[in-house]
Structure 1
Amino acid sequence: MASVIPPVVLITGANQGLGFAIAEVFSQSQHPYTILVGARDQARGDEAVRKLLRTKTNDKTAISTIHIDVASSESITGALSKISTDYDRLDILVNNAGIFGALGKMWNSTTRPDWRAIFEVNVFGAIELVETAFPLLLKSSSPRVIVVTSNMGSISKVADGHVPCGSVGAYYSSSKAAINAMVANWSQTQKEIKFWATCPGLVATEFGGDFTKQNGRDPKEAADIVRKCAEDEKNDVVGRMIWDQDGKSGVYEW
């Protein structure tokens, strides 16, 4: 009898930062998974996998690298084609890859090319990946899409004065507002799939440079909200933008 492949999880941007922490949380769950560490750089992805294999706690969990750059349509198609060939389904898509600003201009991305660079990853790439993955997700018995977002993309919160990075964060905030709108749309138009937009809060990673490294919270703690979505602990807030921190949880308005 052929062995049953544990749920297949693709995590983009998983070779470092929050994405790595998400992969680590899945690898240490009591439930087994087939974890695909999405990485733009194959070597860095392979190194992340080696680290995860040393610390995983579930013997039935498998971990491997998959090359994917969400800013490239060709890369997205290639990655999903490999998943189709190897597993013939995708159970959980964690759309984590994102940038705060254009390359080399993290806190000063103000030109049209800068905007385009941010939106290519945070919006266009995210949308293309999710929608191209629909056929594979629909082969799953319990398909889920978890988009890592930010409450900086909540128009309601911004209108109430939530602008922690001031005007320099407007470009990132706008990109997250755009992908939040897509999550809201997908949750209404793709009823066979469960969607969440998850806000991890400020996380101690390289994402925002020294500011996030010095002021953020433990990445694994922030990553656990993604696992909760995957393991039926957040079914009461499907289709919403959610948060979970300091023993409390809730929903942010769009």
Structure 2
Amino acid sequence: MKYALITGANKSIGFEAARQLLGHSYYVFLGSRDLTRGQQAVAQLHAEGLTQVEVVQLEVTDSASVSAARQTIGQKTAVLDVLINNAGVSGALPQPAAITDVAVFKEVYDTNVFGVVQVTQAFLDLLEQSAAPRIVNVTSGLGSLTLHTDPSWKYYPVKVAAYNSSKAALNMFTITLAYELRDRPFKVNAVDPGYTATDFNHHSGPGTVPDAAARVVKAALLPADGPTGQFFSDDNAPATGISPW
């Protein structure tokens, strides 16, 4: 039995990623900030016949919640094979760099960057016990510094100061962690699920949730000779699947 933890998994891409990993015979800890919503999500999966899943209350910005989740999961398994850092926020929009209040930056970074760091560090010891540990950080194509300096890029005008920079910071954390773990069996990658129709963007994206989740799950299932320290994006790099940083 392999075990996975997904943050922000009670809906949208995180929920679908849980469903897809269950289809690969993983036992999934479905991280949810709201326990009731998490329980409802688990009930839906159980109704579909997917029973190797349970909710874990997890607010990534709350150190006590992260510690409690680590204790709960540690009582169930000594090994964690996959960590998908999916929880994220956009913050109040719009976000022009010149006038967006620093409080918005702090709110967005608290979840998108510091939350990822906190959760990853808390569960690293369980991941180290896996023969093939995988860490997937769900990022955004909007976190690419290279593409944001290219006027021909389709999303060039989408300059969202707090959100975009938080994903760029998340990308750097991914690169750094992958480097530190390079001599071990870890695969640490950032995945852009694409512009997907979810609550996150008021269902304005053209992509589907199953396709987006499949991109995330693909990185979670990388073989031993798979890449690490990469920025996967089928949306921004359809030919190669690897986005420029």
* SS of 2:204 mapped into structure 1: helix
1:232 aligns with 2:222: yes
Find the counterpart in structure 2 of residue 150 from structure 1.
140
Q: Distance in 1 between matches of 2:90 and 2:171?
A: 16
Shift of 1:56: 4.6
Aligned AA (1:201): G
Q: Deviations over 1:61-95 (max 9, x none)?
A: 60110000011111111111111111112110000
The 3-state SS of whatever aligns with 1:155 is coil
Q: Equivalent residue for 2:162? A: 171
Alignment of 1:95-114 (within 5 A): 95-101=85-91, 105-108=92-95, 110-114=100-104
Q: Take 2:144 and 2:95, find their aligned partners in 1: how far apart are those partners?
A: 21
Mapped to 2, the partners of 1:44 and 1:141 lie a distance apart of 32
Question: What residue is the counterpart of 2:59 in the other structure?
Answer: 69
Where 1:80 maps in the other structure, the secondary structure is helix
Amino acid corresponding to residue 55 of structure 2 in structure 1: T
Structure-2 residue corresponding to 1:206: 199
Deviations 1:177-211 (A, max 9, x none): 001001001111023221010011111100022xx
Give the % identical residues: 31
Structure 2 unmatched ranges of 5 or more: none
* Among 195, 218, 224, the residue aligned to 2:188: 195
User: Which residue matches 1:123?
Assistant: 113
Is residue 69–residue 76 contact of structure 1 (8 Å, CA) maintained in 2?
yes
Q: Calculate the TM-score normalised by the size of structure 1.
A: 0.87
Give the letter aligned to residue 218 of structure 2: K
Counterpart residue type for residue 196 of structure 1: N
Q: Write out per-residue CA displacement over residues 81-134 of structure 1, whole angstroms, 9 at most, x where no aligned residue.
A: 111111112110000000011xxx243581011110000000011111112211
Give the TM-score normalised by structure 2: 0.90
Distance 2:188 2:68 in 1: 24
Q: Flag the 1:241–1:235 CA change in 2: closer, same or farther, 3 A.
A: farther
Distance, in Å, in 2 between the alignment partners of 1:90 and 1:14 is 17
Q: Which residue of 2 aligns with 1:14?
A: 9
Alignment gaps of 5+ in structure 1? 1-5
Q: 1:247 offset after TM fit, Å?
A: 7.8
